[in-house]
Structures are given as C-alpha cells and as structure tokens.
A and B are shown apart, each in its own frame.
Chain A
Amino acid sequence: MPRASTRRLVAGRGRYVDDIPAKGEVYAAFLRSPHAHAAFEVVNISAAAAIPGVVRVLTAENIDPVCPPWKCVLRNAPDLQSPEQRPLARRQAVFQGEPIALVVAQSRAIAEDALELIEVEWSERPAAISLEAAAMPDAVPAHENLKSNICWRFEHRSGDPDKAFADAEHVVLRRLVFARKTGVPLEPRGILASYDPSTNGLIVHVSHQMPHQFQLHLAELLGMSPLDVRVICSDIGGAFGIKMHIYPEEVAVCAASRILGRPVKFIADRVESLSSDVHAREHIVEARMAVNTSGMITAIDVDDIQGLGAYSVYPRSSTAEAMSALRAVGGPYRFDNYHALLRSVLQNKVMTGQYRSVGHPVAAAITEALVEDAAAVRGEDSIVFRQRNFLPTEAMPWVSPMGARMIDLSHHACLERMLTLVDYPRLRQEIDTWRQEGRIVGLGLASFVEFTATGAEAYGRAHVPVSSLDGVMLTMEPTGEVRAQCSASEIGQGIQQGLAQIIADAVGVRADKVRVALGDTAASPHGGGAWSSRGAAITGEVAWTAGRKLRNELLNVAAAMLQTTATSLDLRDGRILAADTGAERIAIGDVARTVIFHPYDLPAGTNAQMSVSHTWGRDADPFLPTNGVQASLVEIDPISGLVRPLRHWVVEDCGRIINPLLVDEQIRGGVVQGIGEALYEICRYTEDGQYGSGTLADYLLPMAADMPDIVVAHVETPYSGSQLGAKGAGEAGTCGAPAAVLNAVNDALRPFGGRIDAMPISPVDVLRALGKLPAKAGA
C-alpha cells in the first residue's frame, strides 16, 4: 500500500523547516574556525555590526550568560572523559568549522557579508588528526591540558579467548580500516526558534528526529520549563541518525532568539552540513578468529580504535557506535570466547555519532571478512562454513558473549532463501565463464545480526534522557474517522503510513479513515521519536493496543445501543456487525455521533471514551535482534580499478511486516547507503585538519545511474514478546551491504592474489591489489 503522503511530497508541497515562516524572522550565519586547533580572541565586531541589515553579532560572551556549556556524561561509563562544549566556542577552537560567532541579519547573505568583517586573532596549535597518531600515548592533545586523547577505554572478556586461540586449528586475522562518512540527508539541518518574551514561551521548528528529547535538552540548557518549550518537527527530509544530536548551532540559535526576543532561523547549507553534521564510522579494527579442527568458530578477538572527533557527541555519546559494533561482532554465529578492546579517541575533527545502522556495518564487515578467510584456510565454501557455525534455531534463546539475548532469528532459513534467490550453483558457473573471458568478477555474501528497537536499558542506565517508551492518543471523530497523535517521528521512512495501517486494523476501519499526526511536543505524549528502527516495533505495538482500546469502547457503546453484548458484535471496515452472521448493525460514525451529540439516548452511566491513549515500552529484551543475508555481485574495470556493482540481493527478517512496500524501500535505500560506504563516501581531512569534503563534488554519493538492481526477499520470524511481532527494518540494508561488497571485491581479486582492507574501496588500491600498480610506499 503506497503511503498517503507521497502525493503531497512529490508535488513539492512538503513543509520543511525552511518552508515555515515566522513574522519578523531574521537569519543566522556562523563564523567558523578555519583551524583544526587554535586559541583565538574575537577582537572587533563593530565593522560587522555596522552593516545595514545586521541585527546583532553574538559571541560566547553573549551566549554564555543564557546557556551553560554541556558535556557528554554516561553514568554507567564513569571513566568516559569528554570536554565541555558550548554553543559558541570560547577562546579555544578544537575543530575546523566549530562555530565561534553568530551574525543575525535581515538576510542570510547580509549575515555572511558581516561574517567577513569580524576580526579574530588566531593562534594555531598543533592538532590531533589521524586516528592512529591521536591514539598514541605521546600524541598531540586535542584539547589544551588534556592528559590523553583516549576518551574512553573499554575491555570485555568472556569465556577463555586466550586458551581458545592457543588451541585453535586455524587463526585468521584482518586489519580493516573504515573511513569517516556522514549522512547527507536531502534536507540539511535547520531550525526556526521563536521566543516570545510576553509569554516566556519558545516555539521551535527543527529538522530533528526526536522532538521530545530536543525539548528536554533545550529547556534544561535555557533554564526553562518544558511546558514553555514547544518543539515541532514537521516534514523531515531525511535524517539517518545525524539529526538526533544536540548541535552547537541549534542551541545557539535558540539562545539568540531568547536574547533578541524574535524569531531566528538557521538553515545549514550543504558545505555546513558536510562539515558540521556528525560524521560516523572512523575505525581501525584488528580482529582475529579462532577455528577448531571441526571447523567451528571458538573465539573472536577484536581491537577497535574509534575516532570521536573533538567531543563525544551530546547527549548519547559517540562511543555508542563502537559499542554497537563490538556487540554485533560474530552476530550470526555461535561462539563462546570473546575478547574486545575499544579505545575511543578525541581528535581535532568534527564529532562522530550515531548514523544509520550504528556500528553494525563495521561488525558485519569484520565478521564476514574473517568468515571468508576461515573458510578459505579450511579449503571449503564459505557457505558451508556459515551453515555449520550459525546459531541454530533450536539453541535460541541464547545469550551471546557480549550479553545480547539472541531470539527469533532465522540464519539458516535466510541463507537458504538467498541461495535460491541468486541461483547459487548457476551463478558461480556464470562467474567462472566470465572469468575465462577475462572479466574480473566477484560474488560476496554477508550474514548479519542487527540490534533494533532499543529499549530503556541502553540510555536509561546512563541517565541520558532518551525515551524508549512511546505514547499514542486516539480520538474518534463524529464522522467515524480516527485522529491519532503519536510520539514517533516521520523522517521520510513512512512510519506515519505504517501506524495508520496498524491503527486501522486494530480499530476496524479503513487506513484512509485514520489520520496520524507526529512530531509536536504540544500535541503528543512524551516518546522516543525516530531512532534504532523502532517505529513499527515500539510505536506500532502501542498503536495496536490503543486501537484495540478504542475498538472495545465502540463495541461496548454499540452493544448498549443495540441491546446486546459486545462479544456478539464485530467491527470491520467502520461498521458494527453481528459476529455470527456478519450482518451490518450500525456504522461507527453513528455510534460516535450518538456518544458526542446524543448521549441522552444511551443508558445512564455509559460514559464511553471517544478518546483513548496508551503508553508502552518493552521491559524484556534491551534490543530486538534481527538478521539477514546480503549478496553482492561486482565487476572490476581492469583499466581503472573501478568497482561496478552489477547486482545486489537481500534476504531479511524483520519479523512481522506491516507494509511490504515501505520495508522494501527502506532496505533498498539502506543498501544504497551501504554501497556508498563501501565504494564512494569519505570525509577527508588533510594532515593539519583542513576538511576536504565540503561539497558534493568532493563527497561522492552513490548515484542512481551507478546502482545495481536490488532484489529484496523476506523471511518472517515474528518477535515472540509482542502482539504485532514487528522488529526494526530501517537499517538492515546499510548493515550488511558494505560487508557484502567488500567480500565481493575480494572474491574478484582472489585470483590475482590481492586484497582490499579499507573502505571506501579506492580504485587506486584495487589496481595495486591487481598488481597493476606498485604497492604503496611503506605498506
């Protein structure tokens, strides 16, 4: 079923932040540090302030009195050390692009003119840029007086990994390098903050995934009651995780509106987005896998160095990416001994943070590279190796070495489905034929587990106010139609449509008779918004229960009106029917009208509720594991080393599917972002911390013309702990695609003896792996 809002969005009628006007609004532009690390003093703002049309020039001197600094603190990780961060940096800039001053003017162009006239004295400091260098004990500190750039160190050991490695028949190891990338939503970050001094009220339109979380933080930072802070997220043009953080720019704009008493708007342009949205994925991982004589995985050992940038991102912490990766390593397989070491490193770069499929693609790439190597040393097909090592259905529930409860997974079934889907023996034969013709072709598989629909434990125990609960309020209109207010967020993924369908089914009306409103803290109960692929699994479950409540109310009133019992009635397609014969008794519109306009016609004390609400968050299972398999077929151009994905397949198990069209769209979009991660996207910094990927000519996105056909199939294993059985689907495509592409490229390169161990895969490295270019000096 196509989503109802598609017509409006493709007609250009979407209402994104920049489409929303406020009377008297003025526009903000930021002066940003040109240096990666420097001390500075804003010397003179008078020339900038004197430009006609400039309303105000603000620096930390002005903002600090209305907004204190913030700092990423996780109560359950007390050793995590991240410095204080401010809306506008004060005397120290710690990454290129950090905002240090703000001009508010009658137009953005005037504000930018004024930026050029702000006089700043800079004193450059050495910068910690490359991950390896920044992690060294004697590294240049990323902040003055920082003793070490290691923001957090985590070590986990379960079983006896040392013994397992000592006893192993085979040990395979890999060192994989994952470059920084970022989300690049079509709509950049943007905010319109309108402070009204007469009511002490702040209304904020913002392109954000979590209106309630944003509201709480704003209220706290500005010293206001959440009752006076209303956050509205209207249409969101994509988010991918980069819009779930507290950014200096957004807070500074709210503070500016508070200071000026008028609406202030800031829309990040593409250069600002690419250079100040959180980046993700910067890892250097060394991993080993131990395999015994029977070809069973006995242990995995992972050493991950992760780049955080200048601060651990507020409030959820940049370390979540690496923790997520370590939790998912070895995901599909049963193994008992695990050692993981993480060092999260501060650098003079923009913060890294949660981005689609947080950490999981790293885990999948590591695991599936090791699986390929292990199968190769055993001289067997990696499919056989996988089948032997998969966690079998009968062993579930099973707790992984990192403490994840593995339930309702379908590894064998997904792989079986994939082998049929790709017609495996024939495809292998075809590849052999192509290779004989001189073509450089490879097929790569990647099994994966992704943890979705995160529950309360993850952030609750850290005392980070992130709701894993959701609320749904339903109101019966006098027409028999249903109005819903939900605490999920529509960020382009289509959850609005999914919820409408769930509510419609739960109540017994057609989906077009349900109108779902989202994204307004003044209208919906407090809830989690959009993150961790939670919409269907959590909000959907709440919506189902709320819908059932409303249905019961309607059936009870109808029973009273019809002088029968509710159990002898049914509600379908907006009509009350006799449960036994299916004969129509009364339309629910008539029931609603009676309750609302003619309650005197009902028996005394009926007091039917035409508005119901439900709130729920899962108690069990901190995460809902999902699983799947992806396959990638690639061809390498022997002249240039460019990798062309020819075909991509996904078999995925997200439990109960609510809307197949939406799920497939999510999978395909996710795969494309995963292919981008594997082949194109990289946030580059020079050695001295100058950012080099500030335009879409430098930051290469996957383009439609370069993408292969993506075939999607499903295995449905419903989550056993809920009524709907839905799990997360939004990030699965991104989770497995980079691993599948990397394995495919290495499969293609195998006959040449070369291998790629870094993503995005550079054509230069591919030519080296083909032996057509000499190896890199020093490598």
Chain B
Amino acid sequence: MKPPRFDYLRPQTLAEALELLDRHGGDAAILAGGQSLMPMLNLRVAQPAVLIDINAVPELDRIGRSGDRLSLGGRARHNDVFRSAEVAQAAPLLTVALEHVAHEAIRNRGTLGGSLALADPAAELPACMVCLDAEIVAASVKGERRIPAGAFFQGLYTTTLEPNEILARVDVPAAGTDWRFGFDEVARRRGDFAMAGVAVAVREESKAVAECRISLLGVEMSPRRMEAVEMCLLDAPLGTAANIVAAQSALRDTLEPIEGSEIPPEYRIQIARELLARVIRAMAAPVSGKRTH
C-alpha cells in the first residue's frame, strides 16, 4: 500500500498553482487535506503523474462574510468551518452538518473543497451546498467561473469541475433570521459515511413556509433539490402532520436510490422518509428542542 511514483509540486501562489494545473491538467491531482486522495494513492486507485500541493497557497482557506454573502475558501479545513462564528450565524446548516463529518483528526485536515470536488454521494457537504443554494467558484488561468451547487454535482464522484480548475471558494447566501435549517443523518457508527441524510432549509413568512429547499445525502448517486417534496411544505406552517405525510410520500416517489445488497434501496428510502419527518418536526418544535440524534 505505497503510492506509485509521482512528481510533487508545491506552488506558492494561486496563479502559480493554476498555471501548473493548466500545464498538467488531467495528469495532475490537487493535494489539499489529503483525506481521500492519500488513501486512493496508497491503494493505487489514483495514479496521477503530478501532485500539486496547494497547502502553501495563501488565502485559499479564508472564511469571511461580505454583506449577504459568506465566502468559504476551498482549502478551509472542516474544523475551521465548524468552529467559525460567522458560519454558525450565516450558514448554521453547515455547523450542524459538520458535526457528522468523520472524526476530529480527519476534520483537522480535510477541506471543504476536497469534499465537494470528490462528490462522494454519502458526504454531508455537497448536499448542504445544494440545500443552501451555494455557488461554487472554480478558478483557472482563464479566470473564475461560478457554478450553482445544483448544477455542480453530476453523479457518483463526478462534478462539472474541469481538469484545469481549482475549487477556489464557495459563496453561500447568508441566511436571514427568517430562515431555519435542519439536518440529520443515519450512519452505522459515529463519523461514518451516512446511509441516508437529510438537509432542509425553509424561509417563513407570516408563519407559513414561503421558500423551501431540501436535499439528501447517501441515498442517491449525487445530491439534488427534492422539488416535489419541497412543494408539499409550501404555504403552510412547518410541520403539519398532513404536510409531513405528503412530503414523505413525494420523497418515496422521487427517489432513485443507490442499489446494493448490504443496504438495499428500500432501506435507504425508508430511513430517508423517517429522517425527513424527524428533521421537519425538530425544526417545527420550540427552540429548546435539541438535536434528537
């Protein structure tokens, strides 16, 4: 379990990194936190000719808010995002979801951009970005390209990121006080990849749901908005029994679950439906209601 030979490059600026990436493109892999790449190298599943280590590139890990936009650098470590007060205020969904991401040691190294670029179907952050209606900012020598999260994830380990692009940052619309978020997942052990998870965002006007975004993780090949489910919750107070039943039913009709014998699709659907109800009820409950899981 040793990686095959590769050239190792450690650019000192973003411009240099982009130039190297432009030169090596598909032959290169970007090393940020290395939490997925290093095992893949050691297992020889990934055999890039060149490794471009972006850990020395300044600014890529910046977390900051300007106006109604929260910007998260691609190399921001999970734990830095998790512990950020700005994130907790402007995108509390991320703070809640990150508690489910792996373990302390992995969160210390693993990065936001790494998780999004890998697009593991069971990962928390891709689903959250879809739910938050975030924009992925991809940088290349040609400049920046903005991709809505909903269009970024294309399938199992597949995104629209080009071989010459770095996931430079993610822009998340800062949530107003009229937004509420919910997240929960089921994993075999604490910190494992989810067998199913649900992220919900709602904006309320006059005690009725005016806007709603729902995405899932661990159930389908890649996260997407569950529009048919969202519809069921609109124009009514959050968490009415009838709406929850309707949403659960819509979810079952919408889902195209991952196949597998160990975790059969009907199991994923079942727990996704139950989780959806659990999350909505928890969101509708008084503020004192702590996480149930």
**DSSP majority for the B interface?**
loop
0 or 1 for each of A470-481: is its CB under 8 Å from B? (1 = yes) = 000000000000
Instruction: Tell me whether A269 is interfacial, beta carbon within 8 Å.
Output: yes
| Residues 272-285 of chain A, each 1 if its beta carbon lies under 8 Å from chain B, else 0 | 10000000000000
Interface centre among B195, B263, B267 (most CB of A within 10 A): B267
> In the complex, which residues of chain A have a beta carbon less than 8 angstroms from the beta carbon of B44?
112, 116
B195 touches A270 (CB 8 A): no
Within 8 A of A (CB), among B240-287: 262-264, 266-267, 270-271, 274-275, 278
Instruction: Using A113-B4, A270-B1 as known contacts, say yes or no to A680 and B270 having CB atoms under 8 A apart.
Output: no
Say whether B15 faces chain A, with CB atoms less than 8 Å apart.
Answer: no
Q: Determine whether the beta carbon of B2 is less than 8 Å from that of A767.
A: no
Nearest opposing residue in chain B for A698, CB measure = B262
**Chain A nearest Cβ from B273, distance in angstroms:** 9
**A108 close to B188 (CB less than 8 A):** no
Whether A703 pairs with B189 at a CB distance below 8 angstroms is yes
> In whole Å, how far is A693's beta carbon from the nearest beta carbon of chain B?
11
Residue-by-residue, is A691-707 near B (CB-CB < 8 Å gives 1, otherwise 0)? 00001010010110110
Which residues from 582 to 637 on chain A have a C-beta closer than 8 Å to any C-beta of chain B? 637
CB pair B186–A108 under 8 Å, yes or no, is: no
Q: Which of B1, B195, B270 has the most A CB atoms < 10 Å from its CB?
A: B1
Give the chain A neighbours of B267 by CB distance below 8 A: 763-764, 767, 773
Q: B169-194: which have CB < 8 Å to A? A: 186, 188-193
In the complex, chain A residues whose CB is within 8 Å of the CB of B4: 112-113, 116
Interface size class of B (residues with CB under 8 A): 20 to 34
A764 partner residues in chain B, CB cutoff 8 A: 262-264, 267
Contact A642 B188, beta carbon cutoff 8 Å? yes
CB distance from A754 to the nearest CB of B (A): 15
A269 touches B189 (CB 8 A): no
In the complex, are the beta carbons of A680 and B188 less than 8 A apart?
yes
Question: Roughly how many angstroms separate A717 CA and B84 CA in the complex, as a whole number?
Answer: 58
- Whether A700 pairs with B1 at a CB distance below 8 angstroms is no
A65 within 8 A of B: no
Total number of residue pairs linking A and B with CB closer than 8 Å: 64
Task: With both chains docked as a complex, state the minimum distance between the C-beta of A420 and any C-beta of chain B, in angstroms.
Answer: 33
Q: Which residue of B lies closest to A694 (CB)?
A: B43
Query: Is B188 within 8 A of A639, CB to CB?
Result: no
CA A112 – CA B191 in complex, angstroms? 32
Given contacts A270-B1, A639-B278, A695-B39, contact A767 B188 (CB under 8 A): no
| Contact, CB under 8 Å: A640 / B195 | yes
Contacts of A272 in B (CB 8 A): 1
B39 touches A700 (CB 8 A): no
CB-contact partner of B186 in A270, A271, A642, under 8 A: A642
Q: Pick the residue among B2, B190, B192, B271 that contacts A640 (CB under 8 A).
A: B271
Contact A773 B270 (CB under 8 A): yes
Q: Which residues of B contact A772 (CB under 8 A)?
A: 270
Task: For A116, list chain B residues within 8 Å (CB).
Answer: 4, 44
Q: Closest CB of chain B to A291's CB: distance in Å?
A: 37
| A639 CB contact (under 8 Å) in B191, B263, B271 | B271
Residues of chain A lying within 8 A (CB to CB) of residue B43: 271, 695
Q: A705 to B192, alpha carbons, bound, how many Å?
A: 12
Is there an interface contact between A639 and B274, defined as CB atoms closer than 8 Å? yes
Partner of B190, one of A112, A703, A774: A703
Q: Is A684 an interface residue (CB 8 A)?
A: yes
A109 within 8 A of B: yes
B195 to chain A, nearest CB (A): 7
Give the one of A269, A640, A697, A762 with max B CB within 10 A.
Answer: A640
Residues of A within 8 A of B188 (CB): 642, 680, 700, 763
Q: Which residues of B contact A640 (CB under 8 A)?
A: 186, 195, 271, 274
Complex contacts, B3 vs chain A, CB 8 Å: 109
Complex CA distance for A700 and B262, rounded to whole angstroms: 13
A705–B266 CA distance with the chains assembled, in angstroms: 29
B142 within 8 A of A: no
Asked if B5 lies at the interface with its beta carbon under 8 angstroms from chain A, I say yes
A684 and B262 form a contact (CB under 8 A): yes
In the assembled complex, which residues on chain B have CB atoms less than 8 Å from the CB atom of A642? 186, 188
5 nearest A-B pairs in the assembled complex, by CB-CB distance? A109-B2, A269-B1, A639-B274, A640-B186, A764-B267
| 14 A-B contact pairs sorted by A residue (CB < 8 Å) | A112-B1, A112-B4, A116-B44, A272-B1, A637-B186, A695-B39, A697-B193, A700-B192, A703-B189, A705-B191, A706-B190, A762-B262, A763-B195, A764-B267
